[in-house]
Amino acid sequence: MKIVMKFGGTSVATGKNIRRIAELIASHTRKGNKIVAVVSALDGVTEKLLEAAEQAEKGGKGFIPSFKQELLSRHLKVSEEAIKKASVRKEIQQITLATMDELEKVLTGIIYVGELTPRSRDYILSFGERLSTPIVYGALKDVGLDACFLTGSEAGIVTDSNFGEAAPLMNVTRLQVKERLEPLLAKGVTPVVTGFIAATQDGITTTLGRGGSDYTATIIGAALDAEEVWIWTDVDGLMTSDPKIVPNARTLPEISFKEALEMAVFGAKAMHPRALEPLMDGKTLVRIKNIFNPENPGTTLVREQKIKPGTTVKAVTLLRDVALINISGAGMIGAPGTAAKVFEVLGKSNINILMISQGASEANISLVVRRNVLEKAVNALEVALLGRGLISEITAEDDVFAVSVVGAGMKNTPGIASRLFTAVARKGINVRMIAQGSSELNISFVVKEADGEAAVQAVHEEFRLGED
Ligand code: ADP
Ligand code: ASP
Ligand code: MG
């Protein structure tokens, strides 16, 4: 069987974990499977790189030596633990040193130029995966596998130039990935590919958005027509909620693509929101599994939507980095096309609207966007809409979270919303806005940041999601 296995940040956080991964890949390979490994940066490294990039933009080289030392010693230590054979270890540590030197030069360059563009930010972020992947390759060699490592671009993934959130150009990607990886698999070589990073047709480094290694895995899975894609992470699968918020959250043995997509968009970090796109039309099965509990079957994602009678709400998620925008004005009453105008203005600025709702009075529209685009969104709306008689005020709140309740069984089942909001109100939580997707797969609402976790817990409890 051809399986693409993706290992997230926590799976490669320590040398011990990398060793565990290498043994796991080796055992699946020895059973006759052909594995492509996709690897994330060590846990927390992408975050550190982002901070360094922002510091470099502000100028001042002061932070570089300690930053470099910290990152270097972490990677050297991890390869020390992960790779036993001295010659292999030396080979990898040399790669680490050379990669770190290159990173230092790039950061110094940013300091001199004083400007961090989306393109240079992506280049800096690419170093996390460029540092982690060779270590996994070394560990595979160490356990006796024939392996090689490649960047996403070397593996054949080509994207558009939407830096920070690039999308694969699937036609070329499909051809190139097949052309480059299949001969390796045929020879019994295990390719280890950097997650998250790719390149444009001109070879400029891009990233697929935070958490994008999942996406890399499904792109490769689709290109190779792999039987399965396994997303290895630090929990047993997609769960009824984030176990860090709800300790009795339960693993969902099976969930549909559509439901998983809603969960991912609304905050279930276990899966990148776009990761299912490449696999929509194929036959590839997706599993989410726990690297610390590999015997557990995890979650299987299926294309068809089976609704077990009696099931309504399946999961509740929390999206943290959002903001609420309220647009109001008596001029909007009975004036058709206001919502369309809002969509148009934000669409032109490349801003994605996560939720939208309009009061029955038509005198206001509320929308939810990612917090990092709030300022841009409000500016665009003010410039386009204020002072034209339609809208009198635009206000924003950036201290809110969105709670989302997902389940295909909610469709056509009356009374879910009332149970939901009664449960939340019982905890004294004020709901700032409500929206229901037209698919009826999801109901989302906005609460103050401080109430977010309690709201999730209240919903989980009300629908007894922790019970089988
Ligand atoms: P990785 O480094 O493997 O990509 P992430 O941190 O991106 O891991 O995602 C895994 C984490 O997602 C889990 O540790 C868990 O806390 C969080 N999470 C949030 N919601 C869910 C959910 N519904 N099901 C499973 N995990 C979730
Ligand atoms: N390292 C990247 C991130 O932290 C990609 C990933 O982990 O999937 O976003
Ligand atoms: Mg992730």
**Tokens 């002061």 found at:** 62
Looking at residue 438, what is its pLDDT? 62
174 HSE (CA, 13 A, CB side): 10
152 lines ligand 2 (CB under 6 A): no
Q: Which of 242, 245, 296, 317 best tests ligand 1's pocket when mutated (most atoms within 8 Å of CB)?
A: 242
Helix (H, G, I), strand (E, B) or coil at 186: helix
**Which residue's CA is minimally distant from atom 18 of ligand 1?**
242
| Domain(s) of CATH 3.40.1160.10: residues in the chain | 2-235+270-275
pTM over 0.85? The answer is yes
CA of 197 to the centre of ligand 1 (A): 20
| Domain(s) of CATH 3.30.2130.10: residues in the chain | 315-462
What are the E-state strand segments in 123-201?
147-150, 190-194, 197-199
CA 425/CA 432 separation, integer angstroms: 12
Residues 6+ apart with CB under 8 A from 19: 81, 82, 139
CA of 208 to the centre of ligand 3 (A): 12
* Secondary-structure class of domain 2-235+270-275 per CATH: alpha beta
Residues 6+ apart with CB under 8 A from 288: 230, 231, 233, 237, 238, 270, 271, 298, 299, 301
What are the E-state strand segments in 267-314?
285-290, 299-302
Q: Which CATH superfamily is domain 315-462 in?
A: VC0802-like (3.30.2130.10)
- Report the chain (468 residues): mean pLDDT per 10 consecutive residues: 96 96 97 97 97 92 93 97 97 97 96 94 98 98 97 98 95 98 98 98 96 97 97 95 96 92 87 91 92 95 81 92 92 78 89 86 87 94 84 93 92 86 95 82 94 97 93
